[in-house]
Chain A
Amino acid sequence: MRYDTIIIGGGLSGLVCGIRLQKAGQKCCIVSSGQSALHFSSGCFDFLDRLEDGTVPGNLAECLVSLPESHPYSKIGAETAKKYMGEVPEFFAGCGVRLCGNPYRNSYRMTPMGDMCPTWLSLEDFPLAGEPDAKVADRALVVNIFGYLDFNTAFVADALERNGTVCRVISVRIDEMERLRMNPSEMRATNIARVMDRPEVCGKFIAAVSEELRGEDTIILPAVFGLASDEVLPKIRSSFSADVRFVATMPPSVPGIRTQMKLRKAFEHAGGVYLLGDTVNGAEMSGDKVLSISTSNFGDYRLHADNYVLASGSFFSKGLVAVPDKIYEPVFGLDVDYAGDRKEWYDTDLFSPQNYISFGVATSRDFRPFKDGKPVSNLYAVGSVLSGTNALNEGSGAGTAILTAFRTADLILGRVDSSKAGQSLK
């Protein structure tokens, strides 16, 4: 089987890259081993939440020039990055994913702890605030589903009340939901969402909440609505006189999984091939070129392409593998930037920056990874497998995934002169 481009990894970065290539007329294949980081997403995309000194940048485009040269944004170049930022909302709208927020500025989202955190763009479930201490409502009804433990109403209500919102917490019992309890581990976000997707159950829920409303101006709900159905969210919003706001839950993330499904659909709708549940387990190389790859499911039957994109994620997604004495990239054996001494991998305080998060494959300015010190000519790396950024500490995971995917697609399509990649930076 021959493709124009084969993408290894079907998460945010791999899908965005695949959609962009496919829509430009390429024939692409994505090999995905399963779930991605979208499955435990906050429902918001972060671009650059914090600078090194801890401050939250307001204007995102302006602060790009202050980043180190090794940062993926710097490799793209400030001007190109700014152009891409502006394209993001329309790109996702074209895939059926509506994003809220200003693509050039940070806004604030409410965390499952009830705190306000900087973020870039949000899925439509989550309205964003301009300021961290914005008052969300005068009076709020915080609603949980009886027995659901991954939405902490006490945390949310406490945080709202600190900013002056009067809260009332209730939990709603729906008979259809009780069936989930036949197995005590079933009260999870996606299972609830699946039941809520049924119009009659959603209707019952709306009726139950309406009955409890005592003049509150805002209803706060856990984000467990609208997994496969597009009708649930609009229906809930239009059924109450009060504003409805959703708060992200502990994993799995219903909005994240919905987004993953929509992006996959958009990719396949454009003619792409998405191989789910398969793992790339080896590559055939000749000189500085990748000739083919092999997968677990296809066995001896090899997949060929002109170009390859490594979007395999970091440790959790097995894009990188750590053993006691080294860190390696398992598919191509690419050069990885990491500290040689194991003690340098971590900080003993969990919530301080962890070095290992910034480890990743080394690339040239046009995102070509190195193998034995030499760039591979028809391979690109995108998203969290890259080095040069501590995506968790600076809050740049989604931004890096999307922008490096755009950039790589454009490089493959010849839309940019790769010899000038990153030249516009300074």
Chain B
Amino acid sequence: MKTASSDGIYDVIIIGGGATGAGTARDCALRGLKVLLIERHDIATGATGRNHGLLHSGARYAVTDTESARECISENMILKKIARHCVERTDGLFLTLPEDDLGYQDKFVQACRASGIEAEILDPEEALRMEPSANPDIIGAVKVPDGSVDPFRLTSANVIDAKLHGAQILVYNEVTDFIFDKDRIVGVKVLDHVTGEKSCRYGDVIVNAAGIWGAGIAEKAGTKINMFPAKGSLLIFGHRVNNVVLNRCRKPANADILVPGDTICVIGTTSDRVPYDQIDDMRVTPEEVDILLSEGQKLAPCLASTRIIRAYAGVRPLVAVDDDPSGRNISRGIVLLDHETRDGIKGFISITGGKLMTYRLMAELATDLVCKKLGVTAKCVTAEVPLPGSKNESPEEISDKLSSVYANPMRASAGRHGDMASSISHGNEYDLSLVCECEDVSLGEVEYALENLDVNNLVDLRRRTRVGMGTCQGELCACRAAGLLANTKKCVADAKADLRRFMNERWKGMYPVSWGETLRENEYTLWVYAGVCGMNGHASSKTEKEAENEI
């Protein structure tokens, strides 16, 4: 079985390409380890890419979970330094509505301050001046240092830096089994979903960073992590109605956070326990949509008349500690398991629990344990060393430097790639042709992503560049991007099949909210793709459908 050449043996193999896995790969690589990261889909496809994109100040957890609150504010300040191009300093407001208990506000402010989170009580009028979209009926408001973070950019930047430091990244590769040598795990069996090839990869330490899927990984290793899958649904609106994160000042509940991000805003979440066998097929129900809409309007009444772009859902990787069915009263704390001491399995650790906000800290803790096992003494530097994209100038400075007559696509790509945007070719008019009008994605940026950012298909391309993420959800840009993909991959049949998958993946988020403008948009899309392009009629096979569901 051991066919791998010298490059098949690693110090550490990380399973999972979410923020935690990517962060761990970066940390390990920066400490000089030989790293392999294995992800069964694309990077940032699990819970990493399916949340609010909220740069928590920790205030939300201040009353109920001090430990999480402290971790959040500390990581909040670190990310503002090391990932400038991924975060936006918006600040946040915790609003008290007439139906809420104003008495909670004092408790909240004290708890914030005890955890080191700046919390300033504002007069309702002042709060409304700061955020005019907020419900004018508020009876109280507290300002905290919340912000927003783009999880795709953040994960991508970690992957890029890991690769710059020698890590190898395998996307669309799934760990099917572990390779044991007595009581020690020495490697993994891997299935390449693109080529269908199977291989073995060997490493001294294996890190399970697979989020909710980590329970399945642990099972393959012969142990059990009692995970608690809690589904959270969210809605994206087509306008950025608020510039400040809006929260409800009460015990955490459904749909009580509205986060602005780029040109949109996101309301969420719901929280429902789901069976483990459904975690690959998260669909938003009409009932969840109705809850999100009615609660969201209490934060910002104008949401009632704002176009909804899509609905999506993620699964929180919570580790069960009690039987609370709502999934809210358990700590969002970080869980690091050394399976050698816990289960007698050497060479295997799991890093789970936690949240997007604490991915870096989770990576640091996991890497510390890996280093301890390997006898490596290098210290963690990820809290100080900026990520690629934030190393030099700020996105604003970059876009000023790059801008000429064609300002918009330049600014947009600088916003997305930070100081890496200078590698994007905008040398001639051809490179500046727009592929995606909604998001100002130029042909040069698409080609940069296709060549440099491990893009296998159109959905991957969307995560790197925002192609197809705008108001029209891929109406024209999908077809253009498919043409460019066909040229790069030299395979037209694949590009056409991929276009179909991409359009279906967009629809998955649209049908739960298919009325009003969203339905109009879809009718137009259908007349273009099913009508003019003739893509209707051939219903996808069952296996194809299942593959689409996993995206």
Contact = CB atoms under 8 A, between A and B. Distances in A.
Contacts of A392: 526-527, 530-531, 536
A293 B530 CA distance: 36
B536 A351 contact: yes
Contacts of B504: 349-351
Most chain B CB within a 10 A radius of its CB, from A112, A315, A345, A351: A351
Interface string B508-524: 10010011100110111
A178 to B, nearest CB: 7
A356 B507 CA distance: 14
Nearest to A248: B532
A8 to B, nearest CB: 18
A41 B528 CA distance: 8
B527 A351 contact: no
A352 B406 contact: no
Determine chain B's interface SS by DSSP, over half rule: helix
Interface string A392-409: 110101000000000000
B483 A154 contact: yes
B496 A113 contact: yes
Nearest to A322: B515
B486 A113 contact: no
A155 interface: yes
B539 A181 contact: no
B435 interface: yes
A182 B404 CA distance: 11
A382 interface: no
A158 interface: yes
Interface in B454-503: 476, 479-480, 482-484, 486-487, 492-493, 495-496, 500, 503
Contacts of A41: 532
A115 interface: yes
Given A150-B479, A342-B286, A349-B545, A37 B519 contact: no
Given A322-B519, A392-B526, A147 B486 contact: no
Contacts, number: 151
A147 B480 contact: no
Given A147-B430, A346-B511, A350-B507, A42 B492 contact: no
A352 B526 CA distance: 10
Contacts of B531: 42, 392, 395, 397
B536 A315 contact: no
Interface string B418-437: 00000000000110111101
A260 to B, nearest CB: 15
B508 A348 contact: yes
Given A117-B534, A350-B503, A181 B511 contact: no
B515 A342 contact: yes
B523 A314 contact: yes
A349 B537 CA distance: 11
A324 B526 contact: no
Interface residues of A, number: 54
A356 B519 contact: yes
A40 B519 contact: no
A152 B536 contact: no
B288 to A, nearest CB: 13
Nearest to B476: A250
Interface in A44-95: 50, 54
B537 A316 contact: no
A1 interface: no
A294 interface: no
B536 A393 contact: yes
A155 B535 CA distance: 13
A301 to B, nearest CB: 29
A354 interface: yes
B482 A184 contact: no
Contacts of B443: 149
A224 interface: no
Interface in A234-273: 248, 250-251, 253
A158 B286 contact: no
A306 B443 CA distance: 55
Contacts of A314: 523
B442 interface: yes
B409 A184 contact: yes
Most chain B CB within a 10 A radius of its CB, from A155, A158, A184, A324: A184
Contacts of B538: 351
13 contacts: A37-B527, A117-B534, A147-B429, A147-B430, A152-B482, A251-B528, A349-B507, A351-B500, A351-B540, A352-B539, A354-B522, A392-B536, A397-B531
Given A54-B537, A350-B507, 8 more contacts: A112-B532, A184-B409, A184-B429, A253-B532, A318-B520, A324-B290, A349-B545, A392-B531
5 tightest Cβ-Cβ pairs between the two chains A and B? A117-B534, A158-B492, A350-B507, A111-B534, A322-B515
